[in-house]
Amino acid sequence: MFIRYLAAATIFLCVFAHTAFADQKLNVLFIAADDMNCDLGVYGDSLVHTPNLTRLANLGVRFDRAYCQQPLCGPSRASLMTGLRPDTLDMHTLKHELRNKNPDVVTLGQLFRNNGYFAARAGKIYHYGNPSQIGTDANDDPATWDQRHNPAGIDSLQEEKITRYGPQKGGLGISMAWWDPVSRDEEHTDGMVASKIIELIEQKRDEPFFLAAGFFNPHCPYVAPKRYFDLYPLDEISMPDLDEAKADLEDVPPIAIQRDMKNWPYYFDGVSVPQARKCKQAYYACNSFVDAQVGRLLDALEKNGLMKKTIIVFWSDHGYFLGEKGLWYKRKAFERSARMPLIIAAPGLAKNASTTRPVELLDLYPTLADLCALRAPENLEGASLRPLLADPSGAKWDKPAVTQVWHNKKAWGYSIRTDHWRYTEWLEGNAGRELYDHRNDPEEIHNLASDPDQSETVQRLAKRLQPYVQLKAHKRE
C-alpha cells in the first residue's frame, strides 16, 4: 500500500513540476537601433566602443551575416514585426499603411499580447520620422501594444542647435548634421527610452512581458552627449580615397546608384571630406551612446533577477554607408546597406558564440514564437533561428537572405546573399546584374556578373532568387 501511495505521489510531483515549468513563460526584451551598421567593437571594429553589446554577445549568439528585407526604415520594420516580406505586405515606402493594406495581420507584439504577455514599447519600433515625429505615435500600430511611450529629448526639442552641412532645406531626417551638447544621457530621447523601459521592467518583473526599447540613434541628425564624441578624436577617423571610391562604381549598373550620383560624394552637394569625417565621428559617438543605454537595460534585468528568464534581442533595421564608395546613407543593395547587427541571448542556449550563416530580420518573429512556445501564424515567411542558437557552428542551415530595393516603378531590384556570394538583379536583370565573391572581395569592389567564368554561378543564383521576386503589378512599370 505504501509503495502505491509513494508511486502516486511521485507521479503527482512529476506532473506538477512539468506543469509549473511549462507555465514559466520567458520574457522578451526587444532592443532596436536605427540605421546602425556593423562598425562596432562587438563586430571587430577596433575603433568603435561598444562594451555593452560585447557583454550581450557573451550571453548569447552574434549573427555575423544578418540582413534586412529592404534597407529603408518603414518596410524593414513592418516586415520584421509581421514576419512577412515587403512584397507580401505591399509596403515599400515610409507611408503609414500597415493596417490599411493588411488589416488582419497579427504582429509580433500582438501575438504576445494574445498569449497573456504585457507588451509595451518606448521609442521607435515601427517607422518614425527622425527627428520630426519624435514624441508622437508616428507610424505605430496600436494593436501591437498594451502601452506606448513617446519621450522627446533635447535632440528633438532643440533642433536649432544642430550643425548642418550641405543645403539647408527640408527636415533633418536626411541630413549631414551633428550636435555634441554637454548633457546627461537622460536629457536625450534615447536616454529617456531606456529609463522608461527600466521602469517597466521593475513594474512588470513578476509577470511575463514583451518590452521593446526603440532607440533613434544613430539615425541622422547625429546627436549624442559630448563625452561620446570625445571617444573618437577626429584624426583617428579615416575616410576612403575618393578616386578609388569612384573607380569602385565603374562596373555597377547605373540604376543601382542612381539616387547617389547626382551630388556624389556624400549625397549632398558641397559636403567636404572634413565635414564627412565630422559626421562619421558623430555617427560613431551615437553608436556608443546607444551601447551605453543597452548597458543600462542589462543592469536592470540583473538587478531584478530576470536574466535567466528573459530572451534579449538586439537589432538594427538595416546597415549604413559612411563614405565607402563615396556613398552615404542606406537604400542600396550593397552589403553595407543590407547587413546590420543582430545579437540574441536566450536562456539555455549558446553563449559567447557567433555564426556566419546568412539570416534575415523576418526570422525574428518565428524565432521568438518558437522560444516562447507560442503558436505563430502559419503564413510567416521566415524560419526559427533556434537551430543556430543551439549550435551556431554546426547546425544545418541552407536558407539564403534576400534584400530588395524599391525606389519607383522604374527602379527596383532584388539581392540574394549566400555564404559565398551576393547576387543582385535590377528589373529582373533587364537593367543590370551584380555578382560579388565575398570570400575574396568582402568590400564588393569587383562586379563579376559579366565574367564568363561565373556564368554558371549567375544562372544558379538567378534561379534561386526568382521565387522571391513577388513585386505586385502596380509597383512595376
Please state, in angstroms and rounded to a whole number, the distance separating the CA atoms of residues 230 and 444: 32
446 is catalytic: no
Using alpha carbons only, give the angle 11, 13, 15 rounded to the nearest 5 degrees.
70
State the DSSP H helix or E strand holding residue 73, giving kind and residue range, or none if neither.
helix 73-82
Please state, in angstroms and rounded to a whole number, the distance separating the CA atoms of residues 165 and 337: 22
Sorted by sequence, the CB contacts under 8 Å of residue 386 that are 6+ apart come out as: 349, 367, 370, 371
List 49, 92, 127, 188, catalytic entry: 127
C-alpha 381 chain-centroid distance? 17
Please state, in angstroms and rounded to a whole number, the distance separating the CA atoms of residues 227 and 180: 8
Residues 94/72, Cβ–Cβ less than 8 Å:
yes
38 is catalytic: no
Sorted by sequence, the CB contacts under 8 Å of residue 109 that are 6+ apart come out as: 81, 119, 121, 144, 145, 210, 212
List 38, 68, 73, 286, catalytic entry: 73
Sorted by sequence, the CB contacts under 8 Å of residue 291 that are 6+ apart come out as: 40, 49, 50, 51, 52, 53
Strand duo 421-426 + 433-437: pairing: antiparallel
Cell of residue 107, nine digits: 504582429
Cell of residue 19, nine digits: 506543469
Question: Collapsing DSSP states into helix, strand and coil, what is residue 87?
Answer: helix
Active site residues: 73, 127
